[in-house]
Structure 1
């Protein structure tokens, strides 16, 4: 893709290359079932990783650059990159997509700063929460208007209106402008329902990529949904396998073994270890 030319969405050739990247060369018409297939295929093919930060590569939040990183360079990324690129693929397939900002809960269950996370709203007959950029999360889209329990292969999710949000007395909890997304009883992030353009995420993305206070600058991670429904993760030079039931094994690798693991498990060819 020529970044000197104005970006006008995915060309048919780039769309087809993106679909080949995730192993779905012939998607069907937009539907909840097809959206679920696309999300799961993306999670299985494109890793969540922060290697650019530790390789001295810029993180460019422009649609063409994001798609080129995932498709041409066959890399992954973190939330802004993965969901930003996936939004472009979905739009090219006829889906109506909005970018939503979220605040990730810390271990003390306090929400982080605004624009801490980027997630997607996809509107079909009803709105869906789609997220391929949060590591271990739902395997399939979640109903955005559903307030009951939603079963997913990765757990049970609820989307609960935030008490005390900015709403009038006439508004019900169902009309809250923020939702707490809870997985197996543990809050994951506080999701705003107002759509934003990708450019509005740039300042927080820059902070996440550069600040010593950001957990992304402190260590490297590369993680992918495994064939058995678990995850495989390379954290520094520790190779971690987590089974679908939560069982975990860990092995310390040599530098050469770690480079080989990036190629074998994630399809990422590096000439040196990040960091």
Structure 2
């Protein structure tokens, strides 16, 4: 993979030959979270994707983002290329009101062998694909953790024997996530990826959602409603295509240079029509 290009994309070219360390892992995680948005606009653009980490990495290098299979898949390839002892796991995100389970709707990453003062065991939960959750890695140790305005709990899972449960902040977009410790490869997610990209019941199909986390909160765009949780909290509806694409570029760092003017116009019409349906009381 283009490791140097990836590091340039997230603003850390100096880490190309840097030593493997907990400090550098944290720097990689934060830079990736802050510069690569959580997004699934390829679905709304009618562009099929796969869960291949190298394909995802090339798309990210080209200025786009992705959702968990893309973001964590690509980051695992980057970290492995840099020498980190990275493992992929099958997880399950529990939406609010739903049941917990290992549903394979989430790819989870752990790293080991990186002891630090706050984590002498050296194992870490690494997750770039939870949208409005982690800003930096968590020690893979049971406890309560605060990152910016959000408080998280990591505890033994009740549905994955020997695994872990991540409880999101009460203000977060989902309730929690469970994962087992068995290693897996990307083929474990192919079927669920197809479902999430095509099923009318998929949240990615129903709503064009984009999120970008920073140290003080998270910006979120659901359809045409732009909101922020944390410092500078607010909410506004983007009523024109110009405002929408300006928000993508300025807030979510998504200039969509790979999307033609005709594609942008078609996407805007789809988003606007979906927003009107939502205003009329249709499904969100």
Q: Give TM-score scaled by structure 1 length.
A: 0.83
Structure 1 distance, partners of 2:31, 2:180, is 26
Per the TM alignment, residue 59 of structure 1 is displaced from its structure 2 partner at its CA by 1.4
Equivalent pair of 2:100/2:159 in contact (CA under 8 Å): no
Classify 1:40/1:68 alpha carbon distance in 2 versus 1 (closer, same or farther; 3 Å): same
Classify 1:22/1:79 alpha carbon distance in 2 versus 1 (closer, same or farther; 3 Å): same
How many residue pairs are counted as aligned between the two chains? 249
Q: Does 1:231 align with 2:215?
A: no
Residue number in structure 1 paired with 2:144: 149
> Secondary structure at the residue paired with 1:30?
coil
Residue number in structure 2 paired with 1:4: none
Residue number in structure 2 paired with 1:209: 197
Equivalent pair of 1:242/1:249 in contact (CA under 8 Å): no
Residue number in structure 1 paired with 2:130: 134
Classify 1:95/1:135 alpha carbon distance in 2 versus 1 (closer, same or farther; 3 Å): same
Structure 2 distance, partners of 1:157, 1:233, is 19
Q: Which moved more, 1:44-53 or 1:119-128?
A: 119-128
RMSD: 2.1
Residue number in structure 2 paired with 1:52: 42
Structure 2 distance, partners of 1:261, 1:155, is 24
- Residue 178 (structure 1) aligned to one of 163, 171, 189: 163
Structure 2 distance, partners of 1:88, 1:253, is 39
Per the TM alignment, residue 203 of structure 1 is displaced from its structure 2 partner at its CA by 0.6
Structure with higher helix content: 2
Q: Does 1:190 align with 2:178?
A: yes
Residue number in structure 1 paired with 2:119: none
Equivalent pair of 2:124/2:138 in contact (CA under 8 Å): yes
Equivalent pair of 2:155/2:164 in contact (CA under 8 Å): yes
> Secondary structure at the residue paired with 2:78?
helix
Structure 1 residue runs without a partner (length 5+) = 1-9, 166-175
Q: Give TM-score scaled by structure 2 length.
A: 0.81
Structure 2 residue runs without a partner (length 5+) = 115-121, 271-284
Structure 2 distance, partners of 1:254, 1:25, is 37
